[in-house]
Amino acid sequence: MSIQPIQLQATTSSAFEITTPPSRAFRLQELARILKNRNVPYPIDSHTAQAYHAFAESGTPFGIGSLTESTVDLAEHANSQNFESLTTEEHQSWARLIEDQQATKHRYACREYLQGEQLFEINEKTIPDYYLLNARIYQQTGWQLATVSDLIPANIFFHCHSRKFFPVTTFMRPLGAGYLEEPDIGHDIAGHVATFTIPQVARVMNNHGLANDLIHQEKHEKLRLAESETERQAIENAASELLLLAGRLYWFTVEFGLVLEDQKLKAFGAGILSSPSETIFSIDSPKSNRILIDIENDRDLLRLATTDYLISEFQKTYFVMKDFDALDSLTPERILATVRTAKNLPHHTWMELVPGDNVHNVGTIMMSPLEKYNRLLANQQMDQCLTRTAIRNLMLYQSGTRPRNALEDEFLQKLPTLPISMLSRFSNAKQNGNPQYGNSYLDGKIT
């Protein structure tokens, strides 16, 4: 069944044309054509291709890619894409977003991302058919799509990564919406997909998945030996904290990373490039800090893991890599070692610069490391990132910071000394029951 032509309204100076989503017959023909392609990094054998095409032909909505033996359990988050049921408004919103993204991506995205995007032949006028897109992604990267219903728990998100599945939604943002907190097709497909073709990014995404699985394995082994509910809760909390900190490494690179290209700032993070307005902001805005990092350097890696952020607005600090090669040093084991170290140390807010930073530019929102404590104790207005970081650190300082190795010792030595009066004021405020001191920082999310 083919869908009737839809009239896309003119919403910008470049009016949309009448667009007809490709018919079912055309899509199946196209699928048969691309499945035969052998001149790709991951060719599909004829038996698998035949089964995949038959599945698409049966009319079964696309759920989880079936081009390998591997699969993934999405539990209650499992979803599917029924291409025929996509609405005119959804196609229209996609077309508008792609047009806006292309205008900014061509100016601000790095070369590797733009080259990657060409490989997927994403139709700019209509939302991609996931059967076709999944086959193209697999052929170029070895990764496949897994369709999910909503914002999924970090555990499932990263477990998919460990098996080289990328979770994608079927929801398309309302027409004209820019930045969204929750992922949609515009973020998952038009933002993330091209990053898979940067081999170092695909490998580090897989490594994040493997690190996630290691943390869960270790948690389950400890839970088996736990003797009380208190002990079990402590084990759960410790694992949640490690996962949260590992998520920061992913956030500041795969989602919101910048890279130097011919000495110029370029974006590669999917969270940046899926939002035309944040794409411009991330490179041009004088508000944000930009810090050069070397992922091979343990101190710089720790800087990322100890930096908190919010997902509700544009980032206050962007981290800039000199190239993609250093990402290969971020093995699952190194991710684990970094987050275990970060768990023992004070953290930074998303606004501050800290001693040892290799600063590209100082943002107008920049604050010093001590300012968050002063603001908290003076009951000044602060965002949640500042509040929870200040409280976490003050509680840590109260219980005493004990460096376990040279890296932790160096990290602590470089931080400005906390005046003792601050800790007394914090203790008094806590005793007097200041309600905001009950905030937890263990609520970070990955999108």
The residues binding Fe ion (CB under 5 A) are 270
Least spacing, CB of residue 328 vs Fe ion, in Å:
21
Q: How far is the CB of 254 from Fe ion (least distance, A)?
A: 7
Helix axes 111-119, 88-108, angle to 10 degrees: 140
Please list, residue by residue across 114-139, b when 16 or more beta carbons sit within 10 angstroms of its beta carbon and e when fewer do. Answer: bebbebbebbebbbbbbbbbbbbbbb
Three-state secondary structure along 210-261? HHHHHHHHHHHHHHHHCCCHHHHHHHHHHHHHHHHHHHHHHHHHHHCCEEEE
DSSP secondary structure string for all residues of 173-193: PPTT----SS--HHHIIIIIG
* Contacts for 340 with CB less than 8 Å, ≥ 6 apart: 242
What angle in degrees, to the nearest 10, is found between the helix axes of 199-225 and 332-342? 60
Q: How far is the CB of 62 from Fe ion (least distance, A)?
A: 20
| Min dist. Cβ of residue 157 to Fe ion (A) | 9
Give the nearer residue to Fe ion in terms of CB position, either 272 or 335.
272
379 Cβ contact partners less than 8 Å away, ≥ 6 residues apart: none
- Could you tell me the smallest distance in angstroms from the CB atom of residue 172 to Fe ion? 15
- Compute, in degrees rounded to 10, the torsion defined by CA atoms 410, 218, 447, 55: 150
Of 270 and 272, nearer to Fe ion (C-beta) is 270
Nearest approach in angstroms of CB 273 to Fe ion is 10
* CB nearer to Fe ion: pick between 255 and 300: 255
Kindly tell me which of 270 and 335 has the beta carbon lying closer to Fe ion.
Answer: 270
Nearer to Fe ion, 152 or 386 (CB): 152
Which lies closer to Fe ion via its Cβ, residue 66 or residue 81?
Answer: 81
Q: CA neighbours within 13 Å on the CB side: how many for 236?
A: 6
Q: Which is nearer to Fe ion, 158 or 373 (CB)?
A: 158
Q: How far is the CB of 188 from Fe ion (least distance, A)?
A: 7
Closest residue to Fe ion, based on beta-carbon distance:
270
